[in-house]
């Protein structure tokens, strides 16, 4: 039986999803399921994740996947990804992302991506996240791939929640996907 996630991604490849997670164990369960589902659907998986969490994910996946299946998982350090220019700068992030996906796009290889979005404090200029998420939403449609953006729900102020609900057409609840009523294309 197909998971709801894979069914959604099969029905519609251009899927930009917000996942506001609560707790590390829920997060690990979701990302591991996303990766497993992707590999079983024949997708390569681009995982934008920090080193400590990636080690846990890798350990879990090593128990569930073959060595060949593990070769479909491609990790990018999320700190390097989001702060490659020294700060959270959307054009630099987009350039980094375009370079990461270019081999898949050029060879017409199916891929999906999971991005763990983190920052040091709520002092970051949150309006920049809105600009970035709108750029990402366009990229999802241009390259026709599913993307889940994972944010720590406990660290999200109301202003950020509003921005994210307006920039993501889908929301991942723990066991289901719902459409965002606030989404603004």
pLDDT computed for residue 168 by the predictor: 96
C-alpha–C-alpha distance, residues 85 and 78, integer Å: 13
Residue 32 lies in a domain: yes
- Give the Cβ contact number of residue 44 at 10 Å: 19
Q: At what angle do helices 51-64 and 24-40 cross, to 10 degrees?
A: 50
pLDDT computed for residue 148 by the predictor: 96
Instruction: Write the DSSP assignment of 49-80 as a string of letters.
Output: E-HHHHHHHHHHHHHHS-HHHHTTEEEEEHHH
Q: Of the given ranges (6-10, 38-42, 104-108, 134-138), which has the lowest mean pLDDT?
A: 6-10
**Residue 82 pLDDT greater than 80, yes or no:** no
**What is the domain count for the chain?**
1
**Residue 173 pLDDT greater than 80, yes or no:** yes
Residue 11 lies in a domain: no
Domain that residue 52 falls in:
20-179
- CATH number reported for the structural domain that contains residue 31 in this entry: 3.40.50
Residue 6 lies in a domain: no
Which tokens hold the place of 4? 């709801």
Residue 1 lies in a domain: no
Q: Count Cβ atoms within 10 A of the Cβ of residue 114 and give its class: 0-12 exposed, 13-18 middle, 19 or more buried.
A: buried
Nearest to 122 by CA among 171, 148, 161, 96: 161
Q: What is the average per-residue pLDDT within 151-180?
A: 89
Residue 151 lies in a domain: yes
pLDDT band at 7 (very low <50, low <70, confident <90, very high): confident
pLDDT band at 176 (very low <50, low <70, confident <90, very high): confident
Residue 13 lies in a domain: no
Residue 10 lies in a domain: no
Q: Count Cβ atoms within 10 A of the Cβ of residue 173 and give its class: 0-12 exposed, 13-18 middle, 19 or more buried.
A: exposed
Residue 3 lies in a domain: no
Q: Residue length, the chain?
A: 185
């Amino acid at each position: 039986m197909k998971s709801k996630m894979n069914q959604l991604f099969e029905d519609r490849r251009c899927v930009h999803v917000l996942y506001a997670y609560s707790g590390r164990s829920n997060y690990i369960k979701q990302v591991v399921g996303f990766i497993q589902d992707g590999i079983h659907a024949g997708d390569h998986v681009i995982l934008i994740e920090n080193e400590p969490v990636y080690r846990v994910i890798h350990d879990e996946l090593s128990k569930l996947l073959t060595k060949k299946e593990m070769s479909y998982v491609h990790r990018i350090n999320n700190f390097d990804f989001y702060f490659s220019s020294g700060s959270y700068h959307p054009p630099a992030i987009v350039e980094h992302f375009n370079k990461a996906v270019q081999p898949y796009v050029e060879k017409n290889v199916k891929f999906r991506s999971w991005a763990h979005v983190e920052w040091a404090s709520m002092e970051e200029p949150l309006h920049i996240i809105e600009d970035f998420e709108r750029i990402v939403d366009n990229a999802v449609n241009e390259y026709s791939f599913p993307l889940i953006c994972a944010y720590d729900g406990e660290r999200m102020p109301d202003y950020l929640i509003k921005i994210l609900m307006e920039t993501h057409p889908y929301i991942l609840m723990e066991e289901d996907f719902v459409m965002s009523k606030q989404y603004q294309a």
